[in-house]
């Protein structure tokens, strides 16, 4: 085993055994290389935090309602929203490693003929979950919706984070 693999393995072991992960059962997906879990089971003493749906920030909050308020493609908007999730969780003493479930709503991208850009979502998602730095993954649902409350928004993310006490 190489030194790099040993270090990565030790990092994964430490992350999985840290206090915020203790007692939470995470079942990997049956799909190879999946960035999400098949399921998560929380012990009875878990502290659970729910974040409301988060959208990308408006480019111009004072723009008229009929104008596009969010800019960028699905990948860039997903990255922005996941950073917001990370920031809000940090303010509550939590991290992305505490995320146990995400519900992601995608609007079809006009640049892709109205189809959802699942690949764009995945690129951004894999920067936050299942990485060497943050190896834990959440359970996740992703659906396409007709629209979101913010004109031009291509993504909204609801988050559930938990830690065993």
- 89-116: average pLDDT: 96
Tens of pLDDT, residue by residue over 8-43, are 443 443 444 343 456 899 999 999 889 999 999 999
Residues in the chain: 165
CATH of 31-164, one of 3.30.1330.40, 3.40.50.1970, 3.30.200.20, 3.40.50.720: 3.30.1330.40
Query: Mean pLDDT for the chain?
Result: 87
Contact between residue 70 and residue 77 where contact means Cβ atoms under 8 Å apart: yes
Strands 99-107 and 25-28: unpaired
Question: Would you place residue 69 in the very low, low, confident or very high pLDDT band (cuts 50, 70, 90)?
Answer: confident
Query: What's the rounded Cα separation, in Å, for the pair 86 and 84?
Result: 5
Tens of pLDDT, residue by residue over 52-62, are 999 999 887 77
Instruction: Say what the pLDDT of residue 22 is.
Output: 61
**Could you tell me the pTM of the whole model?**
0.81
Question: Would you place residue 5 in the very low, low, confident or very high pLDDT band (cuts 50, 70, 90)?
Answer: very low
Task: Give 111's DSSP letter.
Answer: G
Give the chain's largest Cα–Cα span: 59
Q: Any idea of the CA torsion for 9, 121, 105, 64, to the nearest 10 degrees?
A: 130
Instruction: Say what the pLDDT of residue 47 is.
Output: 95
Query: What's the rounded Cα separation, in Å, for the pair 50 and 111?
Result: 32
Q: Which two tokens stand for residue 58?
A: 């408006």
Contact between residue 83 and residue 157 where contact means Cβ atoms under 8 Å apart: no
In sequence order, what are the beta bridge partners of 5?
none
Query: What's the rounded Cα separation, in Å, for the pair 83 and 127?
Result: 10
């Amino acid at each position: 085993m190489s030194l790099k693999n040993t270090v990565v393995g030790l990092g994964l072991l430490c992350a999985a055994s840290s206090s915020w992960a203790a007692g939470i059962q995470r079942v990997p997906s049956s799909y190879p290389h999946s960035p999400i879990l098949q399921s998560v089971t929380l012990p009875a003493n878990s502290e659970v935090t729910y974040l409301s749906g988060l959208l990308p920030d408006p480019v111009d909050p004072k723009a008229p309602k009929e104008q596009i308020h969010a800019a960028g493609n699905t990948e860039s908007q997903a990255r922005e929203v996941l950073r917001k999730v990370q920031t809000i969780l940090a303010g509550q003493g939590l991290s992305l490693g505490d995320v146990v479930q995400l519900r992601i709503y995608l609007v079809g991208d006009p640049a892709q003929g109205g189809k959802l850009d699942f690949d764009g979502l995945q690129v951004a998602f894999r920067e936050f979950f299942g990485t060497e730095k943050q190896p834990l993954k959440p359970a996740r649902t992703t659906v396409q919706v007709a629209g979101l409350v913010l004109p031009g928004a291509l993504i909204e993310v609801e988050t559930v984070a938990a830690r065993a006490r």
